[in-house]
Structure 1
């Protein structure tokens, strides 16, 4: 491996501070988002720290397209960050950064972060390791939603992905959005069987519907435990890394560690 988290601790901490915890301008924030995205790209492509990396480099773009099989999540995110980064780092653009463009930059950065896990689960499978699947829940619901939604687009018959996707929608977007998604995909979900002890020959549609109902009732009187990295990091630190030294475990721990570098726990 060329990429090592330890090489990027200082710069990642600085950039995360500028992006999420400082009072810098939106123009400066977008510049920091672009720089931090280059660190994540180095991780995705396993690039040597001595090699120069820029978001718009044609070689980098081609490598990401090839590695991701033109995955829309990473390709569109890269394009948005490149466009916004170029626009707001040149002095001929004197306009104020719009709220829409600022949020688009944040969203693109989260998409690149999500692709780290899309790439990982494409390699190892989402349902194969229960412990990995459990630790994956130590991420904010929005990030989990982006990962699972993309995995579902790649494999719409995987019951483990569908089950967790419905829950992530509920936690990120709310009960109405979860039921809407379920209704939109009703016909295909009712053709995917899943065995449950209390209900033989049920489908993933019934399973998801039941889970949404149970969790919605629970969240009616309890808050979602964590919605942000700053809230989730408390639980991540408490549990620590998954024990083991297989490539699957090492790679997962490495991605989690990278994304939590520089994050500050919520008060």
Structure 2
């Protein structure tokens, strides 16, 4: 059996993206194309090559054993996403329904597709956990995704690792860029008690972070993303991130709120360094950006 090959599916994805997003097609057609795109994404997730037949309806078939290698949490996450897509998009492939499809239904299916894309980045960070001293180029290049994909990825990661300061730092930024600062303030206030109870890094951990992630911008001046040495608790650290006027520059995704705008920044600003970890991230980002030029 062949492994999934991004290059093999690129021509198909190009046509699907064009039909689902850029052509003036009926909503029913666009929903059908989203279903096809979802199927290709699931093929990639499960590493099902082009020589094997696969349909979304087979996902839960116990005889196929397609999900047996996943743990229960990841299995249930994938099934839940696909069920949402199938519930709407399947009707577009059959003839029983006579009512027109609505933009609301299309947006619901699209939201599930975004969850399916984020699912793959969650898998990436399960393999290469996001931590305080994660490489700068990984954190930077992940930030070149559309804010909604970053938010969905981080929101899922936070459920499994609620005390992770790197994830909390990133999700505050993603909230600002996806929903605005008012939402970020509200979320922080609603979660104040548990955030204040998170153990703050020790002086040695802070020094390790600055040593590994700090960048000398001029002699004797080190810049770093998370201002750990200015605070003694996570709540105030995150509050400062929202208060910082620099985080208003791209509030609500002004710079790149879609794949079409984000890809321009990705092509220009993605890291030129090479390592197995960054190359895997770029491979995934290249895949989700197919057809978005």
The two structures share one fold, judged by TM-score above 0.5 = yes
Deviates more, 1:19-28 or 1:187-196: 187-196
The aligned length equals: 262
- For 1:182, the equivalent position in structure 2 comes to 188
Shift of 1:76: 2.0
Aligned to 1:86: 90
Report if aligned partners of 2:176, 2:252 keep a CA contact under 8 Å in 1: no
Alpha carbons 2:256, 2:262 under 8 Å: kept: yes
Of 173, 179, 182, the residue aligned with 2:179 is 173
d(CA) in 1 for partners of 2:102 and 2:260? 25
Tell me the equivalent position of 1:146: 152
TM-score (norm: length of structure 1): 0.90
Distance 1:120 1:217, change over 3 A: closer
Q: What is the deviation of 1:217? A: 6.8
Q: How does 1:95-114 map to 2 (within 5 A)?
A: 95-114=99-118
Cα gap change, 1:254 to 1:104, in 2 (>3 Å): same
CA-atom RMSD in angstroms: 2.4
Counterpart selection for 2:242 from 212, 215, 218: 212
TM-score by length of 2: 0.82
Are 1:124 and 2:124 counterparts?
no
Equivalences for residues 1-267 of structure 1 within 5 A:
2-57=3-58, 58-59=60-61, 63-64=66-67, 67=70, 69-71=72-74, 73-127=77-131, 128-192=134-198, 193-194=200-201, 195=206, 196=227, 198-200=229-231, 202-215=232-245, 218-219=248-249, 224-240=254-270, 242-246=272-276, 248-264=277-293
Q: Pick closer, same or farther for the CA change 1:100–1:237 going to 2, 3 Å.
A: same
Q: Which runs of 5+ in 1 are unaligned?
A: none
How far apart, in 2, do the equivalents of 1:115 and 1:3 lie? 17
Task: Sort the Cα spacing of 1:179 and 1:48 in 2 relative to 1 into closer, same or farther, 3 A.
Answer: same
Structure 2 portions without partners, runs of 5+: 207-226
Shift of 1:129: 2.7
CA drift at 1:84: 1.6
The structure-2 alpha-carbon separation of the partners of 1:26 and 1:64, relative to structure 1 and needing over 3 Å to count, comes to farther
Q: Relative to structure 1, is the Cα distance of residues 68 and 134 closer, same or farther in structure 2, using a 3 angstrom cutoff? A: farther
Aligned residues of 2:3 and 2:48 also touching (Cα < 8 A)? yes
Structure 1 residue 245 displacement after superposition: 4.3
Gap change, CA 1:81 and 1:54, over 3 Å in 2: same
When structure 1 is superposed on structure 2, of 100-109 and 234-243 the one drifting more is 234-243
Q: Name whichever of 63-72 and 215-224 sits farther off.
A: 215-224
In the aligned structure 2, how far is the partner of 1:215 from the partner of 1:180?
18
- Aligned residues of 1:226 and 1:232 also touching (Cα < 8 A): yes
Instruction: Give the CA deviation at 1:240.
Output: 4.6
Q: Displacement, 1:142? A: 0.8
Counterpart CA distance in 2 for 1:156 and 1:186 is 13
Q: Which has the larger radius of gyration?
A: 2
Change (3 A) 1:86 1:142: same
Tell me if structure 2 keeps the 8 A contact 1:131–1:242.
Answer: no
Q: Could you tell which deviates more after superposition, 248-257 or 235-244?
A: 235-244
Residues 36 and 158 of structure 1: is their aligned pair in 2 closer, same or farther, counting only changes over 3 Å? same
